[in-house]
Structure 1
Amino acid sequence: MIRAMRHIPFFLILLAAMWVVYPATAATPLSGTCVPVLEKLLPGQFHYCVAVHDWQKGDDAAGFSEAKYAARWGEKRAQFALGVDYFNGRRGIAIDKAQGLAWLTLAAERKDPYYAAILASARSQSTPQEQAQAQALVAKMLPSYGDAQVAQYAERRFQAQWWAIRDHVWDAMQGTGLDPWSKDTAVVIDGLGTVQPILALRKLQDAGDGYFQGWGHVTVGVTIPANSPLAQASRVSASTSQTDR
């Protein structure tokens, strides 16, 4: 459901805190809530978040299942986590260095320096036989987990879902007399809550760009007018953020 409204005083959900796009090097657990709307747009990111919560609760089996599903959507953090677990024998998984190397190889597909370094270290701690076994496993896993296949359909899904939300937002705004560029305009989006429409779409777009970083070009296109109050507020926020660092 999407419903347009005037929200005074306007309260904007802290979207960035909810779906902060972790760089590929982030190996620490996510915190907070797994944003429901991302299950439609970025299933890999959503289910990896669920996996981390399962692991934090001590449910290793559920976490493994969620991570495996996330990995099928090209979620590199999930592939990396599986690789480390197999290589070191963590979270109820028996040590299998060949399997670990295979997952780490997939995780490093996008040439992320951190993942590449971990992969190199793992290779240095494995035998030639284990490396050969890993190479054979990678060849079998690429159609189901490699970017050449999964990143493409993940990107198509993201774009289709993003445009569906955008169209619903535009339909909800029709005939309301509300300005979608105003900070005082809000919409209710299922799985997301009450948000400023243009900023929400932009945050979702940024989440997609971050998810496919190093592989794709997912930007779908909300342009915020430079002279709009929203753009001015964004610049002030960005400036404050830089000052705080």
Structure 2
Amino acid sequence: MQHLMHAAKALVFAALMIAGTAAYAEDAPEHVTDKELSDAHCAIGMEKFLPGDYFYCVGAQNYGTEHFEAAQRLFEKAASWASKPAQYVLGVMALNGDHQPMNRPLAAAWFTLAAERNTPRFTQPLQALSATLTPDERRRADAYLLDMKRTYADAVAAPRAETRYHDGMAQLKSSGGNSYCMEGGLDVRDLAEGKAPSSCPPTIAVVQFVDKQANNVFEDWTGHVTVGPLQVATPPATTP
């Protein structure tokens, strides 16, 4: 059990490889420092497409700045938008007593939610913890899970998240412009370093980026319908 706690602590923010993409990180590190978390660039404009991704990023950012209560609230918000990394991290925090009382049954409930798509990196910690639970802890975990499923289970959260994603993408595609300025997309640190702000990226590039991140957010969800790369229609040429 001690081995599980150490392993879980080491992996607590490995999920940034998925959710950190809200910060436009193509290759987020598997193990990150508090400074790297606090420096995460979370574009608020991603909230209209993938709120689970965005709120996880902001939660990690708050964790890195030692705003632990705010981080936990943001992880819970991300979890309500079907973020499996957020559900996993909440389980690790409960398991380790990370700025809260240690609660193994609650950790088991979060791990169960994180693992419901049978993704190996989430099922393995669940199996390791489940093997150590007492009968009383199992009963308490089941009680937690029964209540938590109403908000966080894929049957509820994933369709809601996918609807938000499709609505956001539809608005993006119908915007009509050749470029798209996502709110918060410009890293203010570039300005602080005297760098000139770059022009807004092409709309098609933003569409492709968000679509790629959606594949991560909905990873292994069997209810998710893959529609393939989205294309932005070219606006008709104006006549002189």
Structure 1: which 5+ runs fail to align? 1-15, 174-185, 225-245
Whether contact under 8 Å (1:74, 1:145) holds in the other structure is: yes
Structure (1/2) with the larger strand percentage: 1
Structure 1 CA distance for aligned equivalents of residues 177 and 61 of structure 2: 34
Aligned-partner Cα distance in 2 for 1:71–1:82: 9
Give the TM-score taking structure 2 as reference length: 0.73
* Larger RCO (CA under 8 A, 6+ residues apart): 1
1:68-79 matches, within 5 Å, as 68-79=76-87
1:83 offset after TM fit, Å? 0.6
* Cα shift readout 1:187-234 (whole Å, capped 9, x = no counterpart): 43444351022121111111111100110235464249xxxxxxxxxx
Once the two structures are TM-superposed, the CA of residue 53 in structure 1 deviates from its matched residue by 0.8
Q: Any conservation in 1 of the 2:207–2:231 contact (CA below 8 Å)?
A: no
| 8 A contact 1:77–1:107 mirrored in 2 | yes
Cα distance change of structure 1 residues 77 and 202 upon mapping to structure 2, 3 Å threshold: same
Larger radius of gyration: 1
1:106 aligns with 2:113: yes
Q: Does the Cα contact within 8 Å between 1:83 and 1:102 map onto a contact in 2? A: yes
In structure 2, what is the equivalent of residue 192 of structure 1?
185
Q: How many residues align?
A: 192
2:75 match: 67
Q: Residue 127 in 1 paired to residue 134 in 2?
A: yes
Aligned counterpart in structure 2 of residue 172 of structure 1, from 162, 165, 177: 177
Q: Distance in 1 between matches of 2:92 and 2:108?
A: 8
What is the distance in 2 between the residues matched to 1:187 and 1:64? 32
| Matching residue of 2:219 | 213
2:16 alignment counterpart: none
1:154–1:101 CA distance, 2 compared to 1 (3 A): same
Identity among equivalent pairs (%): 26
Residue identity in the other structure for 1:61: E
Q: CA deviation at 1:132?
A: 1.9
d(CA) in 2 for partners of 1:109, 1:206: 22
CA RMSD of aligned residues (A): 2.4
Inter-CA distance 68–223: structure 2 relative to 1 (3 Å threshold): same
1:81-121 Cα deviation digits (max 9, x unpaired):
1111111211x110111111101100101101111110111
What's the secondary structure of 1:37's corresponding residue? helix
- Separation in 1 of the partners of 2:162 and 2:22? 23
Following superposition of structure 1 onto structure 2, how do residues 5-154 of structure 1 map, counting pairs within 5 Å?
18-20=23-25, 32-90=40-98, 92-154=99-161
Contact 1:208–1:219 (Cα < 8 Å) also in 2? no
Retained in 2: the 8 A contact 1:51–1:66? yes
Q: Distance in 2 between matches of 1:129 and 1:146?
A: 23
